[in-house]
Structures are given as C-alpha cells and as structure tokens.
Structure 1
Amino acid sequence: MTTLRSISADEKDLFSEGETAEKAASLRAYVDAQLEAGSIRPEWCFVAERDGAQLGRAALYALPGADVPASIALLETSWEDADAGPEVLRLVAARARDLGAAALEYALDTPPSAPRFQFHPAEQEAALRAAGFRLLRDGMRWRWTTDAPVPPQDDRLTFRPLPEIGRETFVDVLGRTMEGTADADLADGVAAHGLHGAGEWIFDLMAKFDHRDEWYEIGFAPDGSPAAVSMPARNPSEAVIGHVGVVPEHRRRGYATAVVARGVAVLAAAGATSVVGDCDAANTGIARAFAANGFDNFVNRREFGRSLG
C-alpha cells in the first residue's frame, strides 16, 4: 500500500537526499527560498511511502499569499519504476483537491537545469499522461542578464503607468492584446472568459506578483492610440517580463520588441541582474522580441495540467 504524508520540520533535506551534489545544493536553496516566500509550505511537502520505504517526494506551490496550491513545484520518484510516477502523482493530485485546488499543473524543463534538474523528461511525461495530465503549453524560457547591455528603448511608444491610466482602461487594453493570440494558455482564457474577462484574469494574476503599480504600463503609439501593454514584475524566484501584449491594429511594427526592452529597463533600474520571460514555441513574434533584446533561450518548458473536479 502507498501512502502520502507531509514532512516534519526537520525533514526538508529529504528533497535533496540521494541526488548529485549539484542538484542537492540547488534543491536545498530552492526549497529554502520558496518556504521563506510562502510559495511552498511545510504541510504542502510530501513523502510517498510504499510498504514503509520511500517511493517519492513532491511539493505543491502557489504564489505568495494564495491559500490554495496551483502547481507541483517538485516531483521525484524512482523513474525506472513505470508505476511509481503515476501513483505518486495521483496521490498528490488528491491531496491538492482536498486543499481546495480545482486544477493542478506541472512544468517539465529540458535540458535539465537548476533548480530542479529534471533528468528523466520522457519518463516524467509518460507518468503525467498516465495520471490524467495533458499538455497545456509547449513553451520556451528566455533569460537576459547584465552580461548584456540594457536594450535600447523605442521612442515611438509613450508609456503611461497604471495609476495614471486606471484599472478599467488598463484591463480593456490588456484584453484587446489577447485577440488572436498565439499563446495557448491565453487563447484558452479568451475562449473561457471573452476578451475583457481574459483581461481581468491576467490583471488579477499579475496583481499577485511582486511589483510596483507604476511598472505596469500602456504604450501609446505616435497617433495617441493605445498600442501595447508592459507588465514586468518579480515572482518568488526571479524578475520576469510578465505579460507582453500588442493590440491587433498595431502588430507587425516591432512593438513587442519595444515592450520587452521596456520591461528589462524597468527591472534593471530596480536592481534586477537577471530577467526571465516565457512564450509559446508557436509565438514566433514574442520569441523574436526576446532574441532581439539579448535574451538567451536557456530552456524549453512543457506545461501539463489536469482538472481535479
């Protein structure tokens, strides 16, 4: 019989037990940082045991301040055992449902990279699918560091901050940027909520990130019309570009590149030495915008999810 239990206060090193020295150090630092931020909680950290022996370990994650977990941050088991992964995942999903989660996600990165170093992507994907998870997004992760210069700014756009614009106007423009989006997650949001509702959804999501209200801006074109949205922020681990959006009538003018450049400048001025951004592999426009601003595609990320209803 397999059981799942929360770890005790002195068991957090179980997450790094038996790993290579590099992965163990990375996991210890990650767990400590996420616990301090409140994104991972001790009661959300689990050990799966089968007949008294450890089968796997997992940790649930939420943005700081959220009371319900949204994703699996850590997942380790004996990947040589084809039954172990699905078994652990089903137990973790059931516990997340008990904690109030309506859905659960997991991100799988290749090539293996800090902090999680997922060395068995094929086996992990097979386990996710066997446990009822489906691919939500085939994405790319990009990173800028201060090894590169702050990108030049595009003086065609005049940026005005959220406190000046007001929430309603900001949400309206934000929703318009998602019309015809090539991002699968955003497209699902539009299908579920409509353009304005999707704008509300992203605005409320980004409000949970560490940010200053003046960082969230609308870029106005030379004719005075709203053209693009910039939402740089910080999550518990790093500075992020957040949301990049251009309204349909202003696309194919290089404004996505301008928004990424603006986000880097804002975050660098606030002290960031590294900035990360994400996009769908199919979103070639945003991918070009990251590359044009000196970002490196350091990892590819496939995001899986399942309903817990």
Structure 2
Amino acid sequence: MRPITGREELDLFSQLPYFLNEELADDLVQGRRRPGWMWMALRGDRLLARAAWWCRPGDDTPVLLDILDVDDDLPAADRVEIGVRLLRAAMSATLPSGSPTPEYGRSTPPDWRDRDDTRRVVQDRMTILERTGATLFVERLRLEWRPGTPIPEPSGRLAFRSPRGGTELQDLMTRVLDGTLDAHSRHDLTEMSPRAAATRHYEEELARYPSPRDWWRIAVLPDGEPVGFVVPAHNGYNPIIAYLAVLPEHRGNGHIDDILAEGTRILARQGVPRVRAATDLGNVPMANAFRRAGYVNFGQEINMTWT
C-alpha cells in the first residue's frame, strides 16, 4: 500500500474504472491533486484498491475524498477488507493530525439502487467507509441542461442586475439561510452564525471560481427590492449553476423559475456544451424547479462524513 510516485503511474492508478480517471492528469497539473494523496493497494502489478483526495488549486490540504475503488472481481470479503486497510493507511499518512476528515463524495447512476451491479459497487464503497467510522450525510441529484433545451422567456415580473459592492451577495446569502433545505448549509448553522456560514461559502467557493463575476445576477422586483440571486460560473470542469436561492419572504411565488432561467440563459450565451447543477435529493422544491427548466437528472451523488 503506497501513494503513486507521480504522473508516470497514472495508467496503473487508472486500472480501476471511474469517470474521474480522464481528469486525473490535468488535476495534477492544476494542483487539484498531489501524488502523495493518491494511494494504491497492489499485489504485484495488479491494482486491488485505490483512494484519492481532491482540493481546490492553492489549497495545502485535501478537502474531498472523491475516489475510493476496489477490484470488483475480488471476493466480497476481500473487497471490503482490502478497501478498509488501504483507506486507513492512506488517511493516517495523508490527513493532518487533529484536522477534520474531508467529506467523501461518490457519483452514481440515478437508478443505482435498481440494478444489482451498480448497487453492489456503491454498497461496497459505503461499507468500507462505514468500517472507518463514516456515516451517510446526504444524497444529491446531479442535473444537466443541454443545448437545444428551450429556456423560458423572461416573465417580466423580475429584473436582473449585477451585485453591488463586495458584500451585497454575502448579505443575501446570509438571509437565504433562514429556512434552507440544503443539508450542508443546515449543518454549517449548527457550528457557526449565518453570516459566518455565508462568508465561508463565498470565500472558499464562489470567489474562487475562475469565471467572470459579471455573470452573477441579483433578481429584483420593479421597485428594486431583491428577491433572490443566481451564480452562474465555471468550476474548472463544467459551466455550473453554483448557487441559486430565493429570499424567505419571497418564497412560494414562482420566482425560482425566472431566476434559474436567467442563470441558464447567461451560460447558454457562452456557447457551452452543457450546464451542470446539483441539489439535495430531499430539497424537492429546488429539484422540481430544475426539472421544470429542462434539466435532466443524469446521476446522483453519495456524501458521507466522519464525526
């Protein structure tokens, strides 16, 4: 059990299939991964299991465990045992002592529970994680808008403008946390104030996207009162709807459809091949808004955490 020596071992590390394999080389170049964070369990030249962490460019520590795979041809008991041994060794050597353990994320087909092959793959990984102390945190829908899908014309009920100053968006992000259905935001609110949670989200994610900030939009009523906002962005992999929200006092009036359409329209004008988005499986109002806007549920994501 050891980390890869460098890019020259990417072919070995990629012997186990997962869609992220095609991104690994560029991730290393961009600083989103490091060889010392990409661990393998080997028997000779055969890759039995692997684990890898990801970070945003410029980070010094991992922020997400997004690869955990085992050779699915191994006997069931061996798959779990080898996976547990590898993950424990990798975590001990990779993660700073005393720091929070990064969340785990696994992309799955939308119907993974309905097929024996995909259900076994996901359940094996979840069992490995549970053996190291992780528990299921939330399951999320992965959504995609594709060129040619109609975008609703503006209803005329709202106008859109760029955020004013450096703090207006953070002010609105703070307000929309009241009554939020997002599991990560709800967890943040157990540990910090709404303002602190909004500021951290802004500084650690939104402000670090390489895309132009003049894509960001505040939705306002004819008298100028803010109703909500949308943050279209590019995360280095795909164009995305990074954040979409309606202020508590304006929820239930259908404004989410206009705001999402505006964000999608901004990205579509860039000639993008797709627009990606995600929301919690349990956030039914948001999921329904994406479906009404023509977004397709192309996958799901399992998030697990250690406490």
Bigger mean CA deviation after superposition, 42-51 or 31-40: 42-51
Shift in alpha-carbon separation, 1:15–1:155, aligned structure 2, 3 A: farther
Are residues 1:233 and 2:241 paired?
no
Q: Counterpart of 2:11? A: 13
Q: Counterpart of 1:175? A: 174
> Which residues of 2 match residues 73-112 of structure 1 at below 5 A?
73-79=66-72, 80=76, 81=78, 82-98=80-96, 102-111=100-109
Runs of 5+ in structure 1 lacking a partner? Answer: none
Q: Aligned equivalents of 1:123 and 1:233: distance in 2?
A: 34
Bigger mean CA deviation after superposition, 281-290 or 74-83: 74-83
In the TM superposition, residue 166 of structure 1 has moved relative to its aligned partner by 1.4
Q: Counterpart of 1:155? A: 156
SS at match of 1:181: coil
Q: Counterpart of 2:293? A: 293
Q: Which amino acid aligns with 1:274?
A: R
Q: Counterpart of 1:31? A: 24
SS at match of 2:242: strand
Bigger mean CA deviation after superposition, 179-188 or 30-39: 30-39
> Which residues of 2 match residues 1-309 of structure 1 at below 5 A?
3-17=1-15, 19=17, 26-49=19-42, 54-79=47-72, 80=76, 81=78, 82-98=80-96, 102-111=100-109, 120-162=121-163, 165-204=164-203, 205-306=205-306
Shift in alpha-carbon separation, 1:264–1:33, aligned structure 2, 3 A: farther
For residues 61-80 of structure 1, give each alpha carbon's deviation from its aligned partner in whole angstroms, at most 9, with x where no partner exists: 01222222111232222353
Q: Aligned equivalents of 1:91 and 1:263: distance in 2?
A: 43
Q: Aligned equivalents of 1:91 and 1:120: distance in 2?
A: 22
Q: Aligned equivalents of 1:27 and 1:183: distance in 2?
A: 25
Shift in alpha-carbon separation, 1:267–1:123, aligned structure 2, 3 A: same
Q: Which amino acid aligns with 1:230?
A: V
SS at match of 1:83: helix
Q: Which amino acid aligns with 1:63?
A: R
Shift in alpha-carbon separation, 1:272–1:36, aligned structure 2, 3 A: farther
SS at match of 2:185: helix
SS at match of 1:75: strand
Q: Aligned equivalents of 2:46 and 2:273: distance in 1?
A: 43
TM-score, normalising length: structure 1:
0.86
In the TM superposition, residue 53 of structure 1 has moved relative to its aligned partner by 6.7
* Native 8 Å contact 2:145 2:295 kept in 1: yes
Q: Aligned equivalents of 2:187 and 2:57: distance in 1?
A: 24
Q: Which amino acid aligns with 1:71?
A: L
* Native 8 Å contact 1:256 1:285 kept in 2: no
Q: Aligned equivalents of 1:35 and 1:289: distance in 2?
A: 36
Q: Which amino acid aligns with 1:89?
A: L
In the TM superposition, residue 42 of structure 1 has moved relative to its aligned partner by 2.8
SS at match of 1:59: strand
* Native 8 Å contact 2:242 2:277 kept in 1: yes
Q: Aligned equivalents of 1:150 and 1:64: distance in 2?
A: 33
In the TM superposition, residue 196 of structure 1 has moved relative to its aligned partner by 1.5
For residues 244-295 of structure 1, give each alpha carbon's deviation from its aligned partner in whole angstroms, at most 9, with x where no partner exists: 1111000011122222212211112223220111111111111111001110
TM-score, normalising length: structure 2:
0.87
Q: Counterpart of 2:115? A: none
Q: Aligned equivalents of 1:228 and 1:291: distance in 2?
A: 19
Root-mean-square deviation over aligned CA pairs: 2.5
In the TM superposition, residue 239 of structure 1 has moved relative to its aligned partner by 1.1
SS at match of 1:167: coil
* Native 8 Å contact 1:161 1:216 kept in 2: yes
Bigger mean CA deviation after superposition, 237-246 or 100-109: 100-109
Q: How many residues align?
A: 295
* Native 8 Å contact 2:66 2:106 kept in 1: no
Shift in alpha-carbon separation, 1:296–1:257, aligned structure 2, 3 A: same
* Native 8 Å contact 2:178 2:248 kept in 1: yes
